[in-house]
Amino acid sequence: MSKELSKVRNIGISAHIDSGKTTLTERILFYTNRIHAIHDVKGKDGVGAVMDSMELEKERGITIASAATFCEWNNHEINIIDTPGHVDFTIEVERSLRVLDGAILVLCSVGGVQSQSITVDQQMKRYKVPCIAFVNKCDRSGANPERVVEQLVEKLGHNAIAMQIPIGLEADHVGVVDLTTMKAVYFDGDNGEILRSEEIPAELADKAAEKREELVETASNFCDDLADAYLEEQEITAEMILSAMRKGVLERKVTPVYMGSAYKNKGVQPLLDAATALLPNPAEVTNIALDLDNDEAEVVLGSSTDDPTVALAFKLEDGQYGQLTYIRVYQGILAKGDTLVNTRSGKKIKIGRLVQMHSNQMEDIDEIPAGYIGALFGIDCASGDTFADPKLNYSMTSMFVPNPVISLALVPKDNKAQINMSKALNRFSKEDPTFHTYVDEETNETIIEGMGELHLEVYVERMQREYNAEVSTGQPRVAYRETITRRAEFNYTHKKQTGGSGQYGRVAGYIEPFPEGDFEFINKITGGAIPTQFISSCEKGFKASMAKGSLMEFPVTGIRVEINDGASHAVDSSEMAFQAAARGAFLEAYKKAKPVIHEPIMKVVIETPTEFQGTVMGTINQRRGTILGAQEEGPMCVVESQVPLAEMFGYSTVLRSSTQGKAQFTMEFDSYRQVPQSITEELQKKKAEEANKGAA
């Protein structure tokens, strides 16, 4: 690990589900001699892709957990993280992008920019990750890479520019024309490992010249020398173009587009060249930490190994040797025997075994310098913790973690299953910030919450396989919320006189809707009407009241509370008394504030053959869905809609049977929206029936 930082690349491969990310990573590992045989992602040969190390991933042919590996190309060391495409595992993409310096956005040349590509792009924007694009599957029927470049511009707002044009498409796809060198590149050998450079085929010469003109024009925006050479019609070299494009990529002002077919071993090596030539090294990326000793002031981290150490734990795994913590070192060196501080918990930790990961295999190392990604054993921490030199009290800015929208009750078969289930839940909730678990006080059932049906399904299956915990599951439940629709005042006195000192506290003010967030507390007390030491107790009391709304006992959200008057007693007032007063005040005002129920609305995108468009729209309408738009893309039609999550259970079966298995859909959380009155009444009726059943 002694290479200079300019030769290091930390890149992620992310895309819409089924765009070929894992297949592409598999080819990259083959061409960089990390593996010596190529395996199919679906695991038909019984092996599965290297990066899909979980049995479930091999069977389903999907990536569930992001996997890390490293390889060498052109004397550059590349750390690669292959991320899931399925929206239920969006936290895996989120936390990978948090620690990466650059990314490859993979797009299908038939599907183009799809719904999850848009989500991934938003995540890249959030973390300001520079990217290059790879239009994969140029060998497929209906391939149209030019249309994909247009979609990058129209749908994602990228300044996308083709760096190559394909030689042949669909079954005739044999290679690419490199627009920087103006050479045709073919991929020979059993696995496309031999690159052959030829003159551009005559039938593509005009198109290549036109596309190169566009490329040079775009690149000249980022380099004055290139602009001068272009205007004076001097010779323009490949190096000049790449140098200008690199500038544009680092500023996130241009997205170079490469093409090929990972499955057919075409175009992968030029993409690797592009990743090393165009994406930033760790020293070229600005990383921000928060100084906890200085009111969370932003601090720009250096990338030198001489600086005090700052590192981020971005992913946890419970392996056979204990907890494995994936870590990115931003400055300094993480070496065996070092003592660092976990700035969240304040605990000191001693660094033991350090490893460099290759999917589920590992190599022992002595140190991880700044700019590198590695892993360490035997450290108890949570995902997103910062480890820093004891002299520093820094925290890396936290990740965006979406709230769960669906829950499921688990019932263990026997006592042994109960113990194993607890172990599994403890591990999963520590590893995945979007996976929550708790015990329902009323029913005593164990409830798990997550981002979608597949998310929870995978965890239940992993529980049974990895922990031998036999559990049965209840019906999926929707994470409903309660909120208020108008302002309501309160003036509540809590008075209790028992033997000895009593309890006394009065709070007055109002509650009102707060659509911008979950909860806001405003203290407008003047003249010491409520002593300062009891103000935080009032806030605690109001906050505690929001755990269950009085309408249907769902969590309450979107409320602003202001207290502006009150009273206390020299002897009988206490923290407990004011907490009780706040709870009473909340209940009093909540009923007057016209509470309503909100439900999660999902953004559902369906890709279907055009002949089933009407049928598919019918299935959406039956589910209280709103169709946002439909557009035809070749033989397929893409229907975008918003549908309440409560109506989406079992939808995949309905969709398959109504389209002869030819349609597929993706679903992600969009927003919360008020439930119609008829549905509210239905929910209340159901709740009453359950309560009666419980009482009986």
Q: How confident is the model at residue 46 (pLDDT cuts 50, 70, 90)?
A: very low
Strand ranges of the sheet holding 361-365, from the earlier edge strand across to the other edge: 348-350, 339-342, 386-388, 310-319, 322-331, 373-377, 354-358, 361-365
Work out the average pLDDT over 580-595.
93
* Cα distance between residue 474 and residue 410, in whole Å: 6
| Strand (E) or helix (H) holding 36 | none
In tens, the pLDDT along 501-544 reads 788 999 999 999 998 888 999 999 888 889 999 999 999 999 99
Instruction: Provide the CATH number for the domain around residue 642.
Output: 3.30.70.240
Cα four-point dihedral sign 552, 557, 562, 565: positive
Rounded mean pLDDT of the chain?
84
Say if residue 385's pLDDT is above 80: yes
**Which one has a higher pLDDT value, 666 or 162?**
162
My answer on whether 515 and 641 are in the same domain is no
My answer on whether 365 and 316 are in the same domain is yes
* Cα distance between residue 317 and residue 493, in whole Å: 51
Instruction: Provide the CATH number for the domain around residue 352.
Output: 2.40.30.10
Report yes or no on 690 lying in a domain.
no
Q: What was the pLDDT predicted at 541?
A: 94
In this structure, of 6-15, 62-71, 221-230, 400-409, the range with the lowest mean pLDDT score is 62-71
My answer on whether 57 and 118 are in the same domain is yes
My answer on whether 308 and 266 are in the same domain is no
Last residue of a domain, one of 545, 564, 593: 593
Say if residue 387's pLDDT is above 60: yes
Work out the average pLDDT over 640-650.
89
E-assigned strand segments in 366-405: 367-369, 373-377, 386-388, 394-396
| Strand (E) or helix (H) holding 460 | helix 453-467
Q: What was the pLDDT predicted at 49?
A: 44
Phi, psi of 398 (to 5 degrees): -75, 165
Share of the chain above pLDDT 90, in %: 31
Q: What was the pLDDT predicted at 93?
A: 62
Report yes or no on 412 lying in a domain.
yes
Say if residue 33's pLDDT is above 70: yes
Report yes or no on 447 lying in a domain.
yes
pTM of the predicted structure, to 2 decimals:
0.70
Report yes or no on 96 lying in a domain.
yes
Q: How confident is the model at residue 89 (pLDDT cuts 50, 70, 90)?
A: low
Q: What was the pLDDT predicted at 83?
A: 62
My answer on whether 386 and 410 are in the same domain is no
My answer on whether 572 and 556 are in the same domain is yes
My answer on whether 27 and 114 are in the same domain is yes
For 171, the domain range is: 5-284
Report yes or no on 689 lying in a domain.
no
My answer on whether 68 and 186 are in the same domain is yes
Last residue of a domain, one of 430, 457, 478: 478
What is residue 494's three-state secondary structure?
strand
**Which one has a higher pLDDT value, 684 or 601?**
601
Report yes or no on 686 lying in a domain.
no
How many domains in the chain? 5
Which residue, chain included where needed, has tokens 């690159």? 195
